[in-house]
C-alpha cells in the first residue's frame, strides 16, 4: 500500500518550523516597508522564538511525510536547545547591531531560518532531508557571517566558511550516495535494516563512513577538520560566532547519533569506533593546547569549542540512551555558557575589525561587576568546575565513557581538561587581577544583553545545582529515541 505523502496532522507537526519561517518573512517585510521599525525587529524575533517554544508543546509525536520526518521527545529537547541558542543570540545581537549601525530585520530572519534548518536536521529520518536542512542552515550562516559587510574580517569569515562548507556538504552528499548504493535507501530506518545484516568488510562502507565523518567533522569543527573555526569566529559578528559555535554543532550531533546508532551492528565489527575515538582525542588535545597561546578571546573560545566537541564525541563512541542524554545535556549547558561568553565579548566597544584580546577585559570584574561575574561563571563552567552546569555535563560524559569501557579516552579527556583550566583561569585573572590601562572603553550593554547574560548565568548555576529535571527530561527522551 502506498503511504499518503501527507499524513493527518502534518500541519501541526511542523508548526514550529512554520512559525519561524513566517516570522522571518514578516521581519524582512517589516524592514523593507518600514525602515524606521528596525529597532523592534530584535524584540520581535525574540517573541517569535518564544512563540515557537510554546508551539513545541502542541506538536504531536509521530513520523510524518512518508517516514522521513520524526517528531519525538528527543527532537523536542534538541529543538529547545536551538531555540535557546537563538533567543540568546538575538538578545546579545540587539544592542551589538545597534552599536555597529547594521541593525535590520534580515539578521534576525536569518537566525530564524537557520533554526528551521537545524530543526529539519534533527528531525530528518532521511539523509536527504538532513542535507536539505543542513543547506538551509549553511546558507543562513554564510550570510550571517558576512553580515558586518563593511568589515574585511567579516567578509573573510563568510568566504572561508562558504568555500570550506561547500566542500563539506559535498563530502556528506558523496557519502550519502555511497551508502545509498550499498543499502538502496537514504532513509535511516531502512539503512538500519541493511546495516543489521551488512557485510562489514565491504570497503565501500568504510569509504562512505569516512566521507560522511569528514563532512560532519567540518560542521562540528572536530580536529583535524577544525582550522576554519578560529578564523571564522574571529571575523564573524560576535553574537553570530557564539550561536555558530553551539547550535549547528548540536544539530549535527543528533544527526550523527541517529546514524551511528543505525550503524551499530557494523561498527562493532570494524574500526570505526577507533576512528571516532581518534577524532575525539585529537580535538581535545589540539583544541586545549592551542587555546593556551591565544590572546584573542574569540580565537581562544574557538579552540575551546574544538576541545568541547572532543568531549561530546566521547559520549558518541557507544550510542546508548545514557550517551544521547549526555549529549542533550551537554549541548544545552554549552549553549548557555558559550553564547554567554561570546555575549560578554560582543559588548566590548571597540573597532570590530581589530582583535578582541584579553587586555580588553582587564579589570572588568570590578569595573562592571555583573559582566565580569558572568564571564567568570561561564569560564568556570567551561572548565568544568563545580557547582556549574559544565561540571555536571562533563561528569555525565565521563560517566558514559567509563560505562561503555572507554576509560582511556576519558583519561585523556581529564588530562586535557587540566590544560584547559589554565586558559580559562587566565580570563578570570584578567577580569579580577589585572588593572585596566587608562582609557580602556567600558563595555556597553543594555537591558537585552544584560538579560541574556543573566539567563546564561542563572541557567548554568541552576543546571549545576538542580540537574535532576533536565536529566529526567533528557533521559526519558533518549530512552524513547532508542526504542524504535
Partner 1 sequence: MPILSTVLWLPIVAALVLGFFPRQAAGAIKGFGFAASLITFLLSLGIVSGFKEGVAGYQLVELAPWIPQWGISYSLGVDGISLWLVMLTTLLTPVVLLSSWNAIHKYPKEYVISFLVMEAAMIGVFLATDLVLFYIFFELTLIPMYLVIGVWGGKNRIYAAIKFFIFTVTGSLLMLLGIIYIGFQYMHATGRPSFAIADLYGVGVTPYAQTLLFFAFSLAFAIKVPLFPLHTWLPDAHVEAPTGGSIILAGVTLKMGTYGFLRLVLPYFPDASIEYAPLFIALSVIGIVYGALVAWVQPDMKKLVAYSSVSHLGFCVLGIFAMNQASIEGSILQMVNHGLSTGALFLLVGVLYERRHTRMLADYGGIAHTMPLYTTFFVIAMLSSVGLPGLNGFVGEFLILSGSFQTAPIATTIASTGVILAAIYLLWLVQRVFFGPITLEENRKIPEIAWNEVAALVPLIILMVWIGVHPNTFLRKMSPSVKQLLAVVKSEDRGKVMFANARPGANSTHAEKGGAR
Residues found near partner 1 in the complex (CB under 8 A) = 366, 380, 385-387, 391, 395, 398-399, 402-403, 407, 410-411, 414-415, 417-418, 421-422, 425-426, 428-429, 432-433, 467-468, 471-472, 475
φ and ψ at residue 93, rounded to 5 degrees: -75, -30
Which of residues 43 and 386 has its CB atom nearest to partner 1 in the complex? Answer: 386
Taking the C-alpha atoms of residue 417 and residue 308, their distance in angstroms, rounded to an integer, is: 10
**CA distances (Å), 432 to each of 346, 358, 429, in order?**
19, 12, 5
Q: Shortest approach of partner 1 to residue 390 CB, angstroms? A: 12
Q: Shortest approach of partner 1 to residue 361 CB, angstroms? A: 15
Taking the C-alpha atoms of residue 428 and residue 301, their distance in angstroms, rounded to an integer, is: 14
Which of residues 210 and 421 has its CB atom nearest to partner 1 in the complex? Answer: 421
Task: Give 263's DSSP letter.
Answer: T
Q: Shortest approach of partner 1 to residue 422 CB, angstroms? A: 6
Q: Shortest approach of partner 1 to residue 414 CB, angstroms? A: 5
Which of residues 305 and 475 has its CB atom nearest to partner 1 in the complex? Answer: 475
Taking the C-alpha atoms of residue 400 and residue 251, their distance in angstroms, rounded to an integer, is: 21
Which of residues 54 and 466 has its CB atom nearest to partner 1 in the complex? Answer: 466
Which of residues 10 and 471 has its CB atom nearest to partner 1 in the complex? Answer: 471
Contact 54, 20 (CB under 8 A): no
Residues 6+ apart with CB under 8 A from 241: 232, 233, 234, 298, 301, 302, 342
Q: Shortest approach of partner 1 to residue 278 CB, angstroms? A: 20
Considering only CA atoms, which of 337, 302, 347, 158 is closest in space to residue 236?
158
Contact 39, 90 (CB under 8 A): no
Q: Shortest approach of partner 1 to residue 377 CB, angstroms? A: 10
- The distance from CA 464 to its chain's CA centroid, rounded to whole angstroms, is 20
Q: Which three cell numbers stand for residue 409?
A: 579516552
Q: Shortest approach of partner 1 to residue 399 CB, angstroms? A: 5
Q: Shortest approach of partner 1 to residue 141 CB, angstroms? A: 35
- The distance from CA 50 to its chain's CA centroid, rounded to whole angstroms, is 19
Prior bond to 224 cis, omega within 30?
Answer: yes
Which of residues 411 and 458 has its CB atom nearest to partner 1 in the complex? Answer: 411
Prior bond to 7 cis, omega within 30?
Answer: no
Which of residues 14 and 307 has its CB atom nearest to partner 1 in the complex? Answer: 307
Q: Shortest approach of partner 1 to residue 466 CB, angstroms? A: 8
Which of residues 26 and 414 has its CB atom nearest to partner 1 in the complex? Answer: 414
Taking the C-alpha atoms of residue 436 and residue 60, their distance in angstroms, rounded to an integer, is: 54
Considering only CA atoms, which of 242, 224, 258 is closest in space to residue 123?
258
Considering only CA atoms, which of 310, 305, 302 is closest in space to residue 285?
310
Taking the C-alpha atoms of residue 225 and residue 206, their distance in angstroms, rounded to an integer, is: 18
Q: Which residue has the cell 536551538?
A: 82
Secondary element (H or E) of residue 327: helix 321-346
Which of residues 113 and 391 has its CB atom nearest to partner 1 in the complex? Answer: 391
Q: Shortest approach of partner 1 to residue 458 CB, angstroms? A: 13
Considering only CA atoms, which of 169, 67, 11, 86 is closest in space to residue 339?
86
Which of residues 29 and 433 has its CB atom nearest to partner 1 in the complex? Answer: 433
Amino acid at each position: 500500500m502506498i503511504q499518503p505523502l501527507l499524513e493527518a496532522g502534518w500541519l501541526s507537526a511542523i508548526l514550529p518550523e512554520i512559525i519561524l519561517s513566517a516570522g522571518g518573512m514578516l521581519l524582512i517585510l517589516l524592514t523593507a516597508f518600514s525602515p524606521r521599525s528596525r529597532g523592534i525587529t530584535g524584540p520581535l524575533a525574540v517573541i517569535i522564538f518564544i512563540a515557537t517554544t510554546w508551539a513545541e508543546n502542541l506538536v504531536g509525536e509521530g513520523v510524518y511525510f512518508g517516514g522521513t520526518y520524526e517528531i519525538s521527545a528527543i527532537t523536542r529537547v534538541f529543538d529547545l536547545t536551538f531555540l535557546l541558542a537563538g533567543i540568546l543570540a538575538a538578545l546579545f545581537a540587539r544592542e551589538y547591531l545597534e552599536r555597529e549601525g547594521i541593525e535590520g530585520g534580515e539578521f534576525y530572519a536569518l537566525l530564524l531560518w537557520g533554526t528551521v534548518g537545524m530543526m529539519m536536521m534533527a528531525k530528518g529520518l532521511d539523509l536527504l532531508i538532513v542535507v536539505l536542512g543542513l543547506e538551509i542552515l549553511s546558507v543562513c550562516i554564510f550570510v550571517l557571517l558576512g553580515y558586518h559587510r563593511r568589515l574585511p574580517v567579516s567578509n573573510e569569515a563568510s568566504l572561508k566558511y562558504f568555500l570550506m562548507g561547500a566542500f563539506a556538504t559535498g563530502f556528506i552528499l558523496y557519502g550519502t550516495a555511497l551508502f545509498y548504493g550499498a543499502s538502496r535507501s537514504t532513509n535511516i530506518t531502512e539503512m538500519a535494516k541493511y546495516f543489521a545484516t551488512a557485510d562489514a568488510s565491504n570497503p565501500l562502507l568504510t569509504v562512505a563512513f569516512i566521507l560522511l565523518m569528514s563532512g560532519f567533522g567540518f560542521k562540528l569543527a572536530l580536529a583535524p577538520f577544525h582550522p576554519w573555526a578560529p578564523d571564522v569566529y574571529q571575523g564573524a559578528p560576535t553574537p553570530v560566532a557564539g550561536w555558530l559555535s553551539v547550535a549547528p554543532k548540536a544539530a549535527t550531533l543528533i544527526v550523527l547519533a541517529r546514524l551511528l546508532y543505525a550503524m551499530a551492528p557494523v561498527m562493532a565489527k570494524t574500526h570505526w569506533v577507533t576512528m571516532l575515538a581518534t577524532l575525539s582525542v585529537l580535538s581535545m588535545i589540539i583544541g586545549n593546547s592551542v587555546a593556551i597561546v591565544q590572546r584573542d578571546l574569540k580565537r581562544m573560545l574557538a579552540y575551546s569549542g574544538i576541545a568541547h566537541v572532543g568531549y561530546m564525541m566521547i559520549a558518541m563512541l557507544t550510542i546508548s540512551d545514557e550517551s544521547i542524554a549526555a549529549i542533550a545535556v551537554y549541548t544545552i549547558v554549552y549553549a548557555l555558557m558559550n553564547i554567554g561568553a561570546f555575549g560578554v565579548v560582543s559588548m566590548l566597544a571597540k573597532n570590530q575589525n581589530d582583535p578582541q584580546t584579553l587586555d580588553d577585559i582587564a579589570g572588568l570584574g570590578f569595573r562592571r561587576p555583573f559582566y565580569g561575574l558572568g564571564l567568570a561563571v561561564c569560564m568556570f563552567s567551561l572548565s568544568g568546575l563545580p557547582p556549574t552546569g559544565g561540571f555536571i555535563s562533563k561528569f555525565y560524559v565521563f560517566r558514559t565513557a567509563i560505562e561503555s569501557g572507554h576509560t582511556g579516552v576519558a583519561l585523556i579527556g581529564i588530562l586535557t581538561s587540566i590544560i584547559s583550566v589554565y586558559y580559562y583561569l587566565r580570563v578570570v585573572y584578567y577580569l579580577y587581577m589585572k588593572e585596566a590601562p587608562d582609557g580602556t572603553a567600558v563595555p556597553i550593554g543594555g537591558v537585552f544583553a544584560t538579560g541574556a547574560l543573566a539567563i546564561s548565568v542563572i541557567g548554568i548555576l541552576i543546571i549545576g545545582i538542580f540537574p535532576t529535571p533536565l536529566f529526567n527530561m533528557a533521559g526519558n527522551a533518549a530512552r524513547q529515541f532508542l526504542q524504535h
